């Protein structure tokens, strides 16, 4: 196997190459697809570096980095503003062993002293760690739930089942409780934004979509990915009024609960719009034959209430072992 390093001069050509490889890499996730990696790529990767793994003329794997100073960032720019669209389950587009070889080869890029890997699995954290943060990503195991045959609540605790059913009854008392997929996902996204912002501002924070760049990124992502069946905007309503919206990403049987907006003002004492919305969305995923409903990073209570497991994801900065940072890291 040979690994080649090159700058990227034509993102359209890279997109075609990336899309051609995707069907060859079994089990790759949405965050490795060109829908995510290639979204507004010309802006997100001002100094891009591509690594290609090949054998006998056959393409086996790709990894796109951006160089920022002495750092090389996998599928990110290294600029916090441009990296605000939060990446998780990050990895090269390659089988695991080839992906690991691509990450090792990244140290051959001239001038690189630090390797930044965001939202990667534990096995990618191989080397001398300068900084590291771990987050658990809870998930609902739809295969296990389907085997039990009692719906989304089949493996929940008695307390979680009670809270969810009480919340569902509260909303059903206002009229029919329904979940629908927005035919116009951009309109659904626009309807979700004020609900999302109000809930975060009430906690003294700006929310995920406060900046114009974030809204533009996600408008571009939705426009490109929705026709491919990779994005859905779900509206949960009771008696015609909004309970909330879910912005979910879909890929090969895995549903990522990426963002949301809920009507907290109308929740009353017993309404829990997040639990009710995700409960209905998990029921929908069960009916669709999906395998995982992934809540992504963060151990929020509502995620744990509906989950049967979790995966550890890491945000790390690796350094060369015999650099001054490497020696400090090993002593530390």
pLDDT one-digit tens code per residue, 43-94: 999 999 999 999 999 999 999 999 999 999 999 999 999 999 989 999 999 9
Read off the DSSP letter of residue 141. Answer: E
Report the interhelical angle of 158-172 vs 273-288 (nearest 10°). 100
Give the pLDDT of residue 207: 79
Question: What is the rounded distance in angstroms from the CA atom of residue 29 to the CA atom of residue 22?
Answer: 10
The phi, psi pair for 225, rounded to 5°, reads -90, -25
**pLDDT of 18 over the 80 cut:** yes
Region 115-120: mean pLDDT is 97
Give the pLDDT of residue 329: 85
Kindly report the length of the chain: 332
Give how far the C-alpha of residue 25 lies from the chain's centroid of Cα atoms, to the nearest Å.
Answer: 18
Task: Give the DSSP letter string of 39-50.
Answer: TTHHHH-SSEEE
Q: Taking the alpha carbons of 187, 296, 129, 110 in that order, is the dihedral positive or negative?
A: negative
Q: In what order do the strands lie in the sheet with 292-294?
A: 2-7, 48-55, 58-68, 71-74, 114-121, 309-319, 128-141, 292-294, 254-262, 241-251, 231-238, 177-181
> Residues 50, 72: contact at Cβ < 8 Å?
no
User: Which H helix or E strand runs over 5?
Assistant: strand 2-7
The phi, psi pair for 187, rounded to 5°, reads -70, -40
Q: Please, what is the average pLDDT of the chain?
A: 94
Residue 26 CB-density burial (10 A; 0-12 exposed, 13-18 middle, 19+ buried): exposed
Map out the domains of the chain with their CATH numbers: 2-126 (3.40.630), 138-310 (3.40.630.30)
Question: What is the rounded distance in angstroms from the CA atom of residue 169 to the CA atom of residue 54?
Answer: 57
Give how far the C-alpha of residue 95 lies from the chain's centroid of Cα atoms, to the nearest Å.
Answer: 19
User: What is this structure's pTM?
Assistant: 0.94
Residue-wise pLDDT for 180-214, tens only, equals 999 999 999 999 999 999 888 877 877 788 889 99
- For 112, residues 6+ apart whose C-beta sits below 8 A from its C-beta are 67, 70, 71, 72, 106
Read off the DSSP letter of residue 291. Answer: S
Give the pLDDT of residue 330: 85
Question: What is the rounded distance in angstroms from the CA atom of residue 91 to the CA atom of residue 50?
Answer: 13
Question: What is the rounded distance in angstroms from the CA atom of residue 48 to the CA atom of residue 107?
Answer: 15
Nearest to 231 by CA among 242, 222, 220, 218: 222
Residue-wise pLDDT for 311-332, tens only, equals 999 999 999 988 888 889 888 8
Question: What is the rounded distance in angstroms from the CA atom of residue 118 to the CA atom of residue 78?
Answer: 10
Residue-wise pLDDT for 23-48, tens only, equals 999 999 999 999 999 999 999 999 99
């Amino acid at each position: 196997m040979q690994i080649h390093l090159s700058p990227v001069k034509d993102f359209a050509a890279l997109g075609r190459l990336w899309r051609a490889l995707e069907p060859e890499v079994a089990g790759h996730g949405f965050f490795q697809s060109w829908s995510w990696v290639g979204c507004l790529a010309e802006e997100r990767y001002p100094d891009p570096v591509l690594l290609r793994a090949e054998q006998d003329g056959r393409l086996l794997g790709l990894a796109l980095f951006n160089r920022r100073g002495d750092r090389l960032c996998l599928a990110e720019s290294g600029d916090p503003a441009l990296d605000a669209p939060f990446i998780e389950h990050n990895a090269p587009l390659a089988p695991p062993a080839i992906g690991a070889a691509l990450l090792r080869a990244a140290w051959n890029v001239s001038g690189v002293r630090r390797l930044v890997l965001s939202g990667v699995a534990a096995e990618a954290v191989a080397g001398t760690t300068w900084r590291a943060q771990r987050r658990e990503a809870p998930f609902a195991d739809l295969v296990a739930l389907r085997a039990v045959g009692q719906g989304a609540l089949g493996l929940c605790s008695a307390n979680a089942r009670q809270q969810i059913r009480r919340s569902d009854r509260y909303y059903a008392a206002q009229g029919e409780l329904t979940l629908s997929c927005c035919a116009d996902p951009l309109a659904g996204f626009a309807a979700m934004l004020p609900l999302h912002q109000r809930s975060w501002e009430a906690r003294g924070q700006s929310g995920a979509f406060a900046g114009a760049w974030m809204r533009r990124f996600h408008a571009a992502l939705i426009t490109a990915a929705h026709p491919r069946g990779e994005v859905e905007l779900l509206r949960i309503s009771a008696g015609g009024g909004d309970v909330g919206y879910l912005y979910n990403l879909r890929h090969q049987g895995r549903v990522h609960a990426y963002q949301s907006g809920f009507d907290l003002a109308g929740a009353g004492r017993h309404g829990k719009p997040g639990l009710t919305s995700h409960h209905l969305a998990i029921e929908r995923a069960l009916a669709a034959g999906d395998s995982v409903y992934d809540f992504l990073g963060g151990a929020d209570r509502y995620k744990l209430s509906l989950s049967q497991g979790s995966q550890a994801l890491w945000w790390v900065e690796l350094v060369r072992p015999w650099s001054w940072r490497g020696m400090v890291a090993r002593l530390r």
